[in-house]
Amino acid sequence: MRVCHCHNVNDRQLAAAIDEGCHTMRELRFKLNIGNTCGRCLPQAKQLLNTQLMQIAEPTARLKRVSGF
Ligand code: FES
């Protein structure tokens, strides 16, 4: 699914960038050039970023709760 039409960036590219360590909108904008023309893609990109960060964080948080750390 295309997220940024101006720079032809899709959700898989966004997910890969997040996996590679882009954990802020600033980092995603710098790496993929999203949002730098019309900006209409930013809300969807932000939502995808937040969803993926929650998926990354949840197993760690669950492990900490179980282990007591
Ligand atoms: S849709 Fe991403 S900058 Fe226009």
In the chain, where are the structural domains located?
Answer: 2-67
Q: Is residue 18 within 8 Å of 53, Cβ to Cβ? A: yes
Confidence (pLDDT) at 52: 96
pLDDT in tens, 40-67: 999 999 999 999 999 988 877 777 777 7
Give the mean pLDDT of the chain. 93
Atom 2, ligand 1: residue with shortest CA distance? 4
Confidence (pLDDT) at 11: 97
Within 8 A by CB and 6+ apart from 44, the residues are: 3
Query: In angstroms, what is the span from residue 38 Cα to ligand 1's centroid?
Result: 5
Q: Which fold has domain 2-67?
A: Arc Repressor Mutant, subunit A (1.10.10)
Confidence (pLDDT) at 65: 74
Confidence (pLDDT) at 69: 64
Confidence (pLDDT) at 59: 77
- Pocket probe for ligand 1: among 11, 34, 46, 47, the residue whose CB has the most ligand atoms within 8 Å is 34
Residues whose beta carbon lies within 6 Å of some atom of ligand 1: 4-7, 34-41
